[in-house]
Chain A
């Protein structure tokens, strides 16, 4: 089945640094990638939708300069959290549409200290 590989699984970084999360579609071409954020005991909140070769579309309230999304190829989309702060600590998950459903990455748990 369709697989989206997400790395890293977890990362701890210092405040002020940037962190890049990668999502690769292993056996299909992902023209669209969705990026979600999930706080503890909460639902998945869509942050942005990225389309290969074009600018990402951000949901209302999401800072596009802080959460940089790049979808340069059909198999790779990246989310970079710039100048991370403790409040950015969260679980980030990518997802791509595939046939009649959606496939998800395994998630990245980001802790900013």
Chain B
């Protein structure tokens, strides 16, 4: 069975600090996709990144970066120089490959990030 663990329930930082959100996953599949989503107070889910299991290259997008380590089954997310607008709930999720009909996303419990000015 697939499982996603986000051990950090809530993190509080001061603006401009760097913060890393942890994500550990379990799956028996050799191929899979990993995702990160942001959920601001409005409730909508904002897609941040998708990474397939064959691509272990780290990725950077502006202040966001992701560290995928298959050896430790982790897909951590770092926000550099955090801003108040980064305050939200962040979810890590896992899906089987191929993304055929019926393959669902399994979500972690989410991490609440509070960035204080």
Binding site for B on A (CB under 8 A): 31-32, 34, 41-44, 46, 49, 51, 57, 91, 93, 95, 97, 99-104, 106-107, 109
Interface residues of B in 65-112 (CB under 8 A from A): 91, 95, 99, 101-105, 107-110, 112
Q: Taking A43-B91, A91-B43, A104-B44 as contacts, is the C-beta distance between A49 and B104 under 8 angstroms?
A: yes
How many angstroms from the CA of A47 to the CA of B37 in the assembled complex? 19
Among the listed B33, B35, B101, B108, which residue makes an inter-chain contact with A32, where contact means beta carbons less than 8 Å apart?
Answer: B101
Tell me the nearest residue of chain A to B44, going by C-beta.
A106
How many angstroms from the CA of A107 to the CA of B46 in the assembled complex? 12
In the A-B complex, the 10 residue pairs with the smallest Cβ-Cβ separation, listed nearest first, are: A107-B43, A104-B45, A106-B44, A43-B109, A44-B107, A43-B107, A32-B101, A43-B110, A101-B50, A97-B99
Q: Taking A100-B33, A106-B43 as contacts, is the C-beta distance between A32 and B102 under 8 angstroms?
A: yes
Binding site for A on B (CB under 8 A): 33, 35, 42-45, 47, 50, 91, 95, 99, 101-105, 107-110, 112
How many angstroms from the CA of A49 to the CA of B101 in the assembled complex? 10
Measured between C-beta atoms, what is the minimum distance from B75 to chain A in Å? Answer: 15
Residues of B within 8 Å of A43, CB to CB, are 91, 107-110
Q: Taking A100-B33, A100-B50, A101-B50 as contacts, is the C-beta distance between A46 and B104 under 8 angstroms?
A: yes
How many angstroms from the CA of A91 to the CA of B104 in the assembled complex? 19
**Knowing that A93-B43, A107-B44 are A-B contacts, what are 10 other residue pairs whose CB atoms are under 8 Å apart, sorted by A's residue number?**
A31-B101, A34-B105, A44-B107, A46-B104, A91-B43, A95-B45, A99-B99, A101-B35, A102-B105, A107-B43
Listed by A's residue number, 9 A-B pairs whose Cβ atoms lie within 8 Å are A43-B108, A46-B104, A91-B43, A97-B103, A99-B99, A101-B33, A101-B50, A102-B95, A109-B43
